[in-house]
Chain A
Amino acid sequence: GAGVSQSPSNKVTEKGKDVELRCDPISGHTALYWYRQSLGQGLEFLIYFQGNSAPDKSGLPSDRFSAERTGGSVSTLTIQRTQQEDSAVYLCASSPGTRSSAEQYFGPGTRLTVT
């Protein structure tokens, strides 16, 4: 079946603009994660959705970052008033379960460049 898909694959935006990044998880996966991967850094957890529960937003770096997951499927990560330090690859992953041992399947990422 189809894996996790993300769009766009690349996004170049001017400083101060808002951007929306989209993630389509694997059908039936209840958990969805957003990560940020900056150059030379490990993946940084941003936010986690599990079913209809309130999302874990503890990794969001500032109030300019927000995310939604509609209908328990597609998720959108929004960055308002983008800054140059927001430039990174944003990865989405979905998982069939909530246990810490559950496999996470990653999408190809969206490369965001803020000029």
Chain B
Amino acid sequence: KNQVEQSPQSLIILEGKNCTLQCNYTVSPFSNLRWYKQDTGRGPVSLTIMTFSENTKSNGRYTATLDADTKQSSLHITASQLSDSASYICVVSGIGNEKLTFGTGTRLTIIP
């Protein structure tokens, strides 16, 4: 069964600090992995998408890594800001499969 597991479930850090969120998946055959940011009461917004051949991708202060051999990904946030408070969702797609497998997300809270 295709699964995506994220850790930690929740995280609280001080403004300006860095943090790293983890994602492990069992989706096979693998096509791509995405990280979404979901603000409270809003729909998810894409941060990065990585295919099998990519092992890192950045979007501003967000840097995602992918290890397709170990089926792990991480999302690193640098110099956190209050606006980074949100849920971060890891989503994996299989080859030839239009359905995405979603993780349950990490709830990140940035405190001043």
List the interface of chain A (C-beta within 8 A of B): 4, 31, 35, 40-45, 48, 50, 56, 59, 91, 93, 98, 100-101, 103-109
Inside 8 A of A109's CB, which chain B residues have their CB?
A: 41-43
B39 to A, closest residue via Cβ = A108
Partner of B51, one of A31, A48, A91, A101: A101
Interface of A is mostly: loop
- A51 → chain B closest CB, angstroms: 12
- B88 → chain A closest CB, angstroms: 12
Are the C-beta atoms of B49 and A101 separated by less than 8 Å? Answer: yes
Not counting A106-B44, A108-B42, a sample of 15 additional A-B residue pairs whose C-beta atoms are within 8 angstroms of each other reads A40-B104, A41-B104, A42-B4, A42-B89, A42-B104, A42-B105, A43-B100, A44-B102, A59-B99, A100-B31, A101-B93, A103-B46, A103-B49, A107-B43, A109-B42
Kindly state the interface size class of chain B when it binds its partner.
20 to 34
Are the C-beta atoms of B102 and A42 separated by less than 8 Å? Answer: yes
Considering residues B44, B96, B98, which has the most beta carbons from chain A within 10 angstroms of its beta carbon? B98
Are the C-beta atoms of A101 and B98 separated by less than 8 Å? Answer: no
- Bound together, the chains give a CA A48 to CA B46 distance in angstroms of 19
- B35 → chain A closest CB, angstroms: 13
Inside 8 A of A59's CB, which chain B residues have their CB?
A: 99
Partner of A45, one of B31, B100, B104: B100
Number of A-B residue pairs with CB-CB distance less than 8 Å in the complex they form: 56
Provide a sorted-by-A list of 19 A–B residue pairs whose CB atoms are within 8 angstroms.
Answer: A41-B104, A42-B4, A42-B102, A43-B89, A45-B100, A50-B98, A56-B98, A100-B31, A100-B93, A100-B94, A100-B97, A100-B98, A104-B46, A105-B46, A106-B43, A106-B45, A108-B41, A108-B43, A109-B42
